[in-house]
Structure 1
Amino acid sequence: MKEEKEAVSETVCNGFEALYFAALDSDVKLVTGVPGYPVTSLMELFLKKYNLTKTDDSTCRASWLTNEKVALEVALGASVSGRRSLVLVKHVGMNILSDPLITSVTHTIGAGLVIIAGDDPGVKGSQNEQDSRWYGKIVEVPVFDPSCPEAAYGIIRRAYELSEETRIPVIIRVTAGLEKSKGKIKRLPAASALHPVFDRSIWKLRMVEKHQHFHSNVYPVLENESENTDLNEVRERGNDEPIKGGGKLGIISSGFASSVVEDFLKKSGKDKRISRLILNLVNPLPVKKIKAFLKDKQKVLVVEESEPVIEEQILIAGNICGKKTGHLPYGQITSEDIEFALENIEKENVLRPVDSSLIESGKKGRAAICEDCPYLPLYHFLRNIDVQVAGDMGCSVRSAPEPLAAVDVSFALGSAISVACGFEKKGIAVIGDFALAHSGILGLLNAVNEGYEVLVLVLQNEVAAMTGGQKVPDLRKMVEAVVSDVSFFDMDNETNKHSAGSELSLPYLITEKLALPGISVIFIKGICRKY
């Protein structure tokens, strides 16, 4: 923390609860987010507290939105008017909000604005294994990577102070591991309710001058923060673990991986024999502190999830081991991985054997369509139709692998319509109503404007079924306003269920619309059995 303050209370909580308490104590007035693993459960904590109908403070609000770019833009509006704000998204959501985020850094903001990016090492509930820490380099903002509940609380408190000192947003990268971790936090006095508003004097500078101003006046403040913050902690050991040649061994870690390291070292009895550098602020990287740590070490293991973000920046030191050298795997880190790395630390490079059992268990554990999903008849029909089908990052993506093999490709949330527009012949876009509201509606507008040929099947279950059952806006009237050929089909209608091959059946309707020129949209209603 910037200032030493006496704690007003202590509590034991998990990492996400620590983030929640810290936001409350930081006087955050607005929380926006888009549902997705692993941040959904964090947002639910705020929804219980920040509700206009359930709080005495009508200036507090928390709400789910359907698009990450919009979520950040709403938060930016709060910031420039002097209200601290928080944005919660999963890692792929960072791609969506990056446009206004990058501009906001040189544009400057007002009150503190923090973005919590939920990463998914191990790809347990996502379409890829992306590392949000890279956005620190792209956007040129601070990136915190909390290792435990205590660090998470302190990071939020400091992040809002730093955001207002530098007039830029701050990113905090979290994983599901942080939510599972338990620890004691010391809650500090609540932050002042007075926060800065947007300073219009920045408009005296041209765009190029704003960037020059940032690097001359703002980034040095961030570098100084990284080098001197107590959140980046060195734990030197005098009786170091002996390795070949008599040199010293060290470990550099960041985020929840630091807790994995600590647990392993304590259980193995090596916690007092291996020096550690624990990084909770990873961008800008504390170069001077790292150089000092490396100076007397023969070997240093870099432990991080998911990508070698830190390792790649210090690899030139020559004594670094980690993902790039094969000592550790990409993605999630376990105690077994650390044990393997330390057993092979004297080797320059390690060829890790492929674990065939992991591959087989992955096949068995692959998420599948619910057995009572109302859309199963549709997926079975799509499997056997000789037409290219673009799916989306909703439930339909689970129909891509065998045994359904219904959709052919699926790239991003809201992408199905635009992808299908690129097919050589008229194809099908299968998109959920949440994905349509997220960004698919833009693809539909462009399809209409450019005269593409596509059949759009909107799976209207009225919830975001992949992320917790959040409500979805009804866009039927909006679609009818731009598309002339719009139909509706109810999967749960008993008459439809017993009309296979008739004009009342869904296969007949799809076949009919595929034969027509231009754009057709079919809203297919089905009640999600899970929600």
Structure 2
Amino acid sequence: MKEQALLGDEAAALGAIHAGLSAAYGYPGTPSTEIMEYLIENAAGNAHIPEAFHASWCTNEKTALEAALGVSFAGRRAMVTMKHVGLNVASDPFMNSALLGIKGGLVIAVADDPGMHSSQNEQDSRFYAAFAMVPCLEPRNQQEAYSMTREAFDLSEKFQVPVLLRMTTRLSHARAQIKTEPIRAQNPLSKAGDKTQWMLLPAYARRNYVALIEKQTGFLEWSAAHPSNKLDLDGRDTGLGVITSGLGGNYYEENLEDFVKSRSGKIPARLHIGVYPLPIDSIRRLCEKAERVIVIEEGQPVIEERLRGILPHSITINGKLDGTINRTGELDPDVVRRGLALPPRPGALSAGAVTLPNLPGRPPQLCTGCPHGDSYETIKKAVQELDPAEGHPNTAINADIGCYALGATPPYSVPESIVCMGASVGMARGAAETGIKYAIGVIGDSTFLHSGISSLIDAIAADTPMTLIILDNSIVAMTGCQQTMVGSDKFRPLILGLGLKGEHLIELEAKRQFLEENAAKLKKEIEYRGLSVVIFQRECLEAFRKRKKSEKSK
């Protein structure tokens, strides 16, 4: 154990390094900035940090989290840093990441700013952790910032979910001595065996959501047993209960001596909460004899608002939390009948009047003749001809939200991940920067304009060795053929204007007769050890039909 004097932000950063960090991404914002600054400063390694890792700023918090997802997809540990309002920007990939089969530990370090010292609001990130239903750790000092960050990576891999680390201004920017622990080696490259855990197509997402609900019991057991959720009852005055969290615990202890004197020497019973979800049994034990409870928490009244639902009262409440009503899926009359303890309604099927055969599933698929089908056949052929893996995964194909997401299912089965709008670009970047040799992002023209450009800016700035494939069918096809905000003819000048090298911006016509030629050109760009963009162009068939019909009617 070695001692160092560090800011809370620096302690969290060092905890990540010592936990075997492979890559970190973030966007600057007070009070979180020093986490990434410390990581960037030490990324090359030194006498005390034997393994180098990747650390860099990104265009925004969303692109940062998506790049970190690419690292986790490749089996390695990643951290993302931002301030509380930045989590609003990253909320799309954050909420969806809770449904993924997180492979390498993923920790999102968010620094809240109570008192708005340099922020526009007093948002509390614990609400986001509860909203996503993932664990949250809230250190109360620099030592816990270090040790909890290390623990967060283990927790993430154990439950296969992202973990939120909540920092606050006074902790982030105060310095104290910490003791360090032995450095853990980085994870080897190892992609997830079941790629459907990384695809949020509705059928997979519903299954993954059920799995997330099932994990809640494990989260509660972990929280109940965690030493940071410390309950003190023995020899205490149980008539008054005090609940503290985060820095609130420090401030309470600073005033405890005077508080006890004011109460004629009576020390109140107390529960300090350092990890979430809330330790419900400990709260109930603290409060079962209490006449009054004082809640001292940094930020908004997250714990206080929950107490009414946790503490005993005269009214029994039945609903989704006790299983009376289904926790997953939609409501329907039969679900409600079960909740009302009513017998099933008689009907044709239940009465045995009609027997239906077991019908095969009919999952959605690309339209016959869709240009994306020819593009995916080209991608498959190009990837099959790449150099074989050298003892580790050598390809990652990260796709995106749109009708082309259907290329993840047979007969194509090309994409390996589908997370949120724009994530394909950032995930391919993260996969490349953590060691995947051939990282490929697949995105549609409308989705690229929606939120892919920002991640491409990051990749261009770093000249990341990856290939972005834009499937340009000249329309927003999935939602009914709305016009894109920028026409296909503007893509080339737009991308070159961002700084991509012109010789590595390739435009191909997505037709089956050009399969061999297109696959050879694509393979060449995938093998290029820098950033390349390949645009497959052909109009959507449905858009073509609508256009022709409109032209005839004029």
Give the TM-score of the pair, scaled to structure 2.
0.53
Q: Tell me how far apart the structure 2 counterparts of residues 213 and 319 of structure 1 sit (CA, whole Å).
A: 29
One of 110, 113, 118 as aligned partner of 1:120: 113
1:316 Cα deviation after fit: 4.4
Q: Give CA-to-partner distance per residue, 1:66-85, whole Å, 9 cap, x none.
A: 21110001111111112211
Per-residue CA deviation, residues 137-169 of structure 1 (Å, 9 max, x unaligned), is 211111111111222222112111110011111
User: Does 1:302 find its partner at 2:258?
Assistant: no
Between 1 and 2, higher relative CO (CA 8 Å, sep ≥ 6) is seen in 2
1:172 corresponds in structure 2 to 165
Aligned residues: 324
**Alpha-carbon distance between aligned partners in 2 of 1:147 and 1:111, rounded to the nearest angstrom:** 26
Question: Aligned pair 1:254/2:245, yes or no?
Answer: yes
- For residues 279-290 of structure 1, the aligned pairs below 5 Å read 279-282=273-276, 284-290=277-283
Contact 2:74–2:192, Cα closer than 8 Å, also in 1: no
- 1:37-186 to 2 correspondences below 5 Å: 37-51=30-44, 59-186=52-179
Q: How does 1:459-478 map to 2 (within 5 A)?
A: 477-478=497-498
- Deviation of 1:307 after TM superposition, in Å, equals 1.2
Alpha-carbon separation, structure 1, partners of 2:282 and 2:311: 17
For residues 255 and 146 of structure 2, the distance between their equivalents in structure 1, rounded to whole angstroms, comes to 24
Query: Contact (CA 8 Å) 2:125, 2:166: kept in 1 or not?
Result: yes
Aligned counterparts of 2:144 and 2:47: Cα–Cα separation in 1: 30
Shift of 1:12: 4.4
* 1:228 matches 2:211: no
1:208 aligns with 2:206: yes
**8 Å contact 1:109–1:197 — kept in the other structure?**
no
Which amino acid is the alignment partner of residue 32 of structure 1? Y
Match of 1:199 among 168, 188, 192: 192
Residue in 2 that maps onto 1:31: 24
1:183 Cα deviation (Å)? 4.3
Give a deviation string over 1:336-356, Cα, whole Å, max 9, x none. xxxxxxxxxxxxxxxxxxxxx
List alignment gaps of at least 5 residues for structure 2. 198-202, 314-453, 459-475, 477-482, 487-493, 500-554
Superposition CA RMSD, Å: 3.7
Deviation at 1:179, TM superposition (A): 2.5
Per-residue CA deviation, residues 330-381 of structure 1 (Å, 9 max, x unaligned), is xxxxxxxxxxxxxxxxxxxxxxxxxxxxxxxxxxxxxxxxxxxxxxxxxxxx
Distance 1:238 1:52, change over 3 A: closer
Query: What letter corresponds to residue 223 of structure 1 in structure 2?
Result: L
Give the direction of change, closer, same or farther, for the CA distance of 1:232–1:317 in structure 2 (3 Å limit): closer
Correspondence 1:311 to 2:304:
yes
Partner Cα separation in structure 2 for residue 53 and residue 10 of structure 1: 17
1:125 aligned partner, one-letter code: S
1:415 maps to none
How far apart, in 1, do the equivalents of 2:49 and 2:247 lie?
Answer: 36
SS of the aligned residue for 1:107 comes to coil
Q: CA deviation at 1:319?
A: 9.9
In the alignment, structure 1 residue 276 sits paired with structure 2 residue 304: no
Partner letter of residue 226 of structure 1? S
Mapped contact 2:20–2:187 kept (Cα < 8 A)? no
Q: SS at the partner of 2:186?
A: coil
Cα offsets for 1:200-233 (capped at 9, x unmatched): 32628732112112222x2222111111111211
Mapped partners of 2:12, 2:46: distance in 1: 24
> Larger deviation: 157-166 or 257-266?
257-266
Match of 1:370 in 2: none
| Deviations, residues 227-272 of structure 1 (Å, cap 9, x unaligned) | 11112112336253xxxxxx62121111122212122224655697
> In the TM superposition, what is the alpha-carbon distance from 1:300 to its structure 2 partner?
1.0
- Report the 3-state secondary structure (helix = DSSP H, G, I; strand = E; otherwise coil) of the residue aligned with 2:99: helix
Asked if the contact 2:44–2:52 (Cα under 8 Å) also holds between the matched residues in 1, the reply is no
Give the Cα separation in 1 of the matches to 2:255 and 2:7.
19
Question: How far apart, in 2, do the equivalents of 1:294 and 1:101 lie?
Answer: 34
Is the Cα contact below 8 Å between 1:50 and 1:61 reproduced in 2? Answer: yes
- What CA deviation, in whole Å up to 9, does each residue of 1:14-60 have, x standing for no partner? 42232122112101121111011101122222121014999997851
Change (3 A) 1:273 1:93: same
The amino acid that maps onto 1:28 is L
Supply the distance in 1 between the matched residues of 2:48 and 2:256 (Cα, whole angstroms): 45
CA distance in 2, matches of 1:21, 1:53: 13
Measure the CA separation in 2 of the matches of 1:239 and 1:210: 44
CA contact (8 A) 1:19 1:152 kept: yes
CA distance in 1, matches of 2:47, 2:4: 25
**Cα pair 2:137 2:164 within 8 Å, conserved:** yes
SS of the counterpart of 1:277? strand
Separation (CA, whole Å) in 1 of partners of 2:144 and 2:256: 19
Match of 2:355 in 1: none
Q: In structure 2, what is the equivalent of residue 187 of structure 1?
A: 180
Question: Is the contact between residue 120 and residue 175 of structure 1 (CA under 8 Å) also seen in structure 2?
Answer: yes
d(CA) in 1 for partners of 2:97, 2:300: 26
- Change beyond 3 A, Cα 1:292–1:239: closer
Q: Secondary structure at the match of 1:188?
A: coil
Which of 9, 16, 31 is the aligned partner of 1:16?
9
Is contact 2:280–2:310 with CA below 8 Å preserved after alignment? no
Please give the secondary structure, in 1, of the residue aligned with 2:90.
Answer: helix
* 1:264 aligned residue: 255
Q: Retained in 1: the 8 A contact 2:15–2:147? A: yes
Structure 2 counterpart of 1:238, which letter? G
User: Cα 1:196–1:223, aligned 2, differ >3 Å: closer, same or farther?
Assistant: farther
Distance 1:15 1:301 in 2: 27
**Conserved? CA contact 2:77–2:187, under 8 Å:** no
Unaligned runs of 5+ in 1: 1-7, 241-246, 321-433, 439-445, 452-473, 480-531
